[in-house]
Amino acid sequence: MALHKPLLDSSELNRLPVDVPGLEDDFDRVEVRRSQRRKKTISAEIVGQALVVSIPHKLSRAEEQEWVARMATRISERRRRDRLNSDGDLVRRAAELADSYLDGVRPAQIAWVPTQKSRWGSCSVADGDIRLSLALADYPPWVRDYVIVHELAHLTVPDHSSRFWRLVNRYPLTERARGFLIAKGEEEG
Ligand SMILES: [Zn+2]
Q: Over the stretch 105-121, which tens digit does the pLDDT of each residue have?
A: 999 999 999 886 678 99
d(CA 28, CA 34): 20
Q: Which residue has the higher pLDDT, 179 or 23?
A: 179
Residue range 168-189: mean pLDDT, rounded: 88
Residue range 72-83: mean pLDDT, rounded: 90
Band of the pLDDT at 147, cuts 50, 70, 90? very high
d(CA 93, CA 104): 12
Give the pLDDT of residue 23. Answer: 61
Give the pLDDT of residue 73. Answer: 87
Q: How many A from CA of 165 to the centre of ligand 1?
A: 10
Amino acid identity of residue 96, one-letter, is E
Q: How many A from CA of 128 to the centre of ligand 1?
A: 14
pTM of the model: 0.77
Q: Which residue has the higher pLDDT, 44 or 27?
A: 44
Q: At what angle do helices 89-101 and 141-156 cross, to 10 degrees?
A: 60
Give the pLDDT of residue 143. Answer: 96
Q: Tell me the torsion sign for CA atoms 10, 15, 18, 23.
A: positive
Q: How many A from CA of 189 to the centre of ligand 1?
A: 4
- Say if CB 139 and CB 180 are below 8 A apart: yes
Residue ranges and CATH numbers for the domains of the chain are: 4-85 (3.30.2010), 87-184 (3.30.2010.10)
Give the pLDDT of residue 12. Answer: 38
Q: How many A from CA of 154 to the centre of ligand 1?
A: 7
